[in-house]
A and B are shown apart, each in its own frame.
Chain A
Amino acid sequence: MAPSPESRELRLLLVTVGASLAVLVGLAQLRFPAPGAAPAAPQLLPLERLGPQAVYEDLVQAVARTEARVLPHIVARTREDGRPGLALRWNSTQAVAWTPRPERALGVDVVAVERNRGLLLVRHARASSPAALPEWTPEAAGPLYLAATEVGAAGPALRPVFVGRLKTVASSTWGSLLSITAASLEPGTFLFTLDGRLVGLVVPDAGAAGVLAGAPLRASVDAIVSDPSAAAWSGVRLGRVPTAEGGRGALLVLAVEPWSAWAEPLRAGDQIEAVGGATTTSLAETELALQAQPSPRLRVRRGGTVLRLTATAIAAHGLRLEADLRGTRVVFVQPDSPGARAGLREGDVLTALDGQAAPEPDQVLRRYRSAPRGARLLAIAGHGRDARAVVLEKP
């Protein structure tokens, strides 16, 4: 007997329900890895997708945490090229920095300068002494984010930089450097890891930039401190006369900066035979002697003539000063120096300084050096109807 339509429909329904239950039980036996159970493969996010991702917020927070640790160690200063710069506190009174113009490192904050490479030691006036920064051990690494110093509108700040690769390489100038890729960093920038460890100082090297890591940086600073020739410069570039035997030749004046106390008596090409009556042998000792006050007498050979010379002026902080009957005459004003900012011009005569009439050049120098940072010294330039007030501000 053929089944009725109703029974056929009912059978179809029952088969469907039964098959469904069987499939459901079968599918329920399957297992899949839980979300997040497998370690995710590293994925580099394009920049356009970085914004909405949590990783961007994480980066911002990490930089903010690093700023709290690192910025107490950073000191703002004006670089020798006039641009804002930064220095890293090295000890309780001194900080280290890099300058593109070491020959102009004359500011009162300069303790010592390494003229070949541009490393500077400067004074800082921060009273509190934060805990020492740990150093990052140089190792081949990357890609990673580091925090780089920058001078923002509100002072020193950190910004994240993406460093493609860090690798230790040899450098003829610096000994060893960390080479960096995929990051545009200006020399003079300090780098830190996001957990607040010092990576190093960005320095120029053979047309590119490298990172002078913690240990080499410390060695360089120690060398500056221990090398007297690196102390504040007299403005006289010294060298030696080449000899055929390869030995040490006589001391030779290569150049004299116009602000130097020796700008008037010394000329490029002079051979210095003796300083203060003693025959000179050391370039460093001669450099130190040229800075001394009162000025020593030099025995100098110029052409076939032997001359005995003394500095006719005092050089201080971008000013070359000579004695004048009415006070101190300004012979040279270094651009961007405190004197230039105060409006002093060559030929001005300082007839009074901070209440003292007719100051001698060495008195001007002592008064300026003894003034605290930020002090404003009132001077009178000129006399009679030409007299005008000048305010020397000590940076």
Chain B
Amino acid sequence: MSEGASDPIDELGVDPIDAALETGRVPLLSRLTAPLRTRAALGLEPALAPVTLFVGLGLALGPVGLGALGEGGLARLEPAIAIATAALGVFAGLELLPHRGERRLFAAASLEALVTFAVVAAATGFLLLRWQLLSGLGVGLAALVLGLAAAPSSAAAAPGIGPRESRLADLDDALPIVVGAVVLPAVCRPATPPLEGFVLTAALGLAAAVCGWLLLEHARHSAERAVFLLGTIALLGGASASLGLSALLAGLVAGLSWRLAPGGADVVARRDLGPYQHVLVVLLLIVAGAGIGTEPAVLALGVAFAFFRLTGKVLGAYAAARVVAHPRPSTLATGLLSPGVMGVAFALAVHGARPDADVALLSGAAAVGIALSEPLSWLSPPTRSAAA
């Protein structure tokens, strides 16, 4: 097996962290622990939070575990979840705008997300139809929810993953967030017409962004800016949750608006929200884990979610590789397997909008599936060693 000199990984030089890691024949134990060491080395990246660990911690603390985080506690955390989700949307919006020359990469990321979404939605929809598990929610809507929760990826840091693969994983959040903003109002009870819900969400995000921008631009001190920024995020999350709209899209619109607006609102948002990014992600993962039920159907649907997400990512990577002329779709797929926390946030938002048994099944399955997806991504063979 050989590797062409045009490998995009080599074009950018060897990653120093990759260099520090073992690149030869990888023993099983090292293979299992390498991702953890990589994640520790890159601990500042939110997507690299050990999803399985925190979801498992949430499961242990939740009602089916020790009960330290009971149903009352979870209910009290709902406002915090809405605000955390809005903050994640803002992060996504700040990073969404493709850099120069990234239009094809953005298109490829969206295509990959669409393929993953379609594969997971089709497979889980088929299974839900066979299993007859839902009592009120339509199978179609349930499949859409699972597909959207599966589509986002995190920028993985396994050996062999380069900047382009990581960037692809960054950009594949946009499509699920936008489609999720259409689906969420339809799931919510009472349901809002999808288009109306989408327009309302975008308008809410834009209005909050304008308010926040005016405040941030006129603030004199950094402390004032921090207060205004946190207030705007709280407004985004609270209003979205209250209206049954997608806090992710509202945050994304706000983040994108700040990025496009003149002045330094985007810089302030990055700087002041940055320290809270890890905390918010950990909170979302723990709450998602605590919401997992003990029904066999949750586990079965979660396994199906993880497996078909893997399949979707592989197929999506092939489609994306055609768009960006990537020579090794399997490498691209490896970089996309880490589950995106946006999927967790979307599943929690759906559960907040419609807290019934059907949605509890879906959000629990999504949490299980996302927790299982990360070990699957660890087991993917690093291609650099094969090429060396």
Contacts and interface: CB of A to CB of B under 8 A. Distances in A.
B214 interface: no
A8 interface: yes
B303 to A, nearest CB: 8
A31 interface: yes
Interface residues of B, number: 31
Nearest to A2: B1
Contact of B330 (A12, A27, A31): A12
A31 B1 contact: no
Interface of B is mostly: helix
B134 A35 contact: yes
A34 B132 contact: yes
Contacts of A23: 304, 307-308
Contacts of A12: 314, 330
A13 B135 contact: no
A13 B131 contact: no
Contact of A16 (B133, B296, B297, B314): B314
A5 B127 contact: no
Nearest to A15: B314
A62 B162 CA distance: 67
Contacts of B314: 12-13, 16
Given A24-B123, A28-B127, A9 B328 contact: yes
Contacts of A31: 131
A171 interface: no
Given A34-B132, A35-B134, A13 B315 contact: yes
B211 interface: no
A30 interface: yes
A24 B123 CA distance: 7
A9 B1 CA distance: 12
Given A16-B315, A20-B307, A35-B135, A5 B123 contact: no
Interface string A166-201: 000000000000000000000000000000000000
Contacts of B295: 32
B127 A24 contact: yes
Contact of B311 (A9, A17, A34): A17
B198 interface: no
B318 A13 contact: yes
Nearest to B1: A2
A36 B308 CA distance: 28
B126 A28 contact: yes
Contacts of A13: 314-315, 318, 329
Given A13-B318, A28-B126, A32-B297, A8 B1 contact: yes
B328 A20 contact: no
Contacts of B318: 9, 13
Given A9-B329, A9-B330, A20-B123, A35 B357 contact: yes
Nearest to A30: B300
Nearest to B71: A49
Contacts of A8: 1, 330
B380 to A, nearest CB: 11
B375 interface: no
Contact of A27 (B127, B133, B328, B329): B127
Interface in B321-338: 327-330
A24 B305 CA distance: 11
Contact of B308 (A9, A20, A32, A34): A20
Contact of A28 (B130, B311, B327, B328): B130
Interface in B279-311: 295-297, 300, 303-304, 307-308, 310-311
Given A13-B314, A16-B314, A27-B304, A32 B131 contact: yes
A358 B330 CA distance: 119
Contacts of A17: 311, 315
A5 B296 CA distance: 41
Interface in A1-46: 2, 5, 8-9, 12-13, 16-17, 19-20, 23-24, 27-28, 30-32, 34-36
A24 B312 CA distance: 13
B76 to A, nearest CB: 13
B314 to A, nearest CB: 5
A30 B131 contact: yes
Interface in B253-303: 295-297, 300, 303
Query: For A8, A16, A23, which residue has the most chain B Cβ atoms within 10 angstroms?
Result: A16
A20 B309 CA distance: 10
B129 to A, nearest CB: 9
Contacts of B126: 24, 28
A36 B357 CA distance: 11
Contacts of B2: 5
A16 B123 CA distance: 14
A31 B132 CA distance: 9
B313 to A, nearest CB: 10
A32 B296 contact: yes
Contacts of B127: 24, 27-28
Contacts of A16: 310-311, 314-315
Contacts of A28: 126-127, 130
A314 to B, nearest CB: 69
Contacts of B308: 20, 23-24
Nearest to A19: B311
Nearest to B303: A27
B388 to A, nearest CB: 15
B356 to A, nearest CB: 10
Given A20-B307, A20-B311, A5 B327 contact: yes
A178 to B, nearest CB: 36
Interface in B109-127: 119, 123, 126-127
A20 B130 CA distance: 17
A32 B296 CA distance: 8
Interface string B182-222: 00000000000000000000000000000000000000000
A227 to B, nearest CB: 59
Rank and list the top 5 A-B pairs by shortest CB-CB distance, nearest first.
A20-B311, A35-B135, A32-B297, A16-B314, A28-B130
Interface of B: 1-2, 4, 119, 123, 126-127, 130-135, 295-297, 300, 303-304, 307-308, 310-311, 314-315, 318, 327-330, 357
28 contacts: A5-B1, A5-B2, A5-B4, A5-B327, A9-B318, A9-B328, A9-B330, A12-B314, A12-B330, A16-B310, A16-B311, A16-B314, A23-B307, A23-B308, A24-B123, A24-B126, A24-B127, A24-B304, A27-B300, A27-B303, A27-B304, A28-B126, A28-B130, A32-B131, A32-B133, A32-B297, A35-B357, A36-B135
Given A8-B1, A28-B127, 20 more contacts: A2-B1, A5-B4, A9-B329, A12-B330, A13-B329, A16-B310, A16-B311, A17-B315, A20-B311, A23-B304, A23-B307, A24-B123, A24-B126, A28-B126, A31-B131, A32-B131, A32-B133, A32-B300, A34-B132, A35-B134
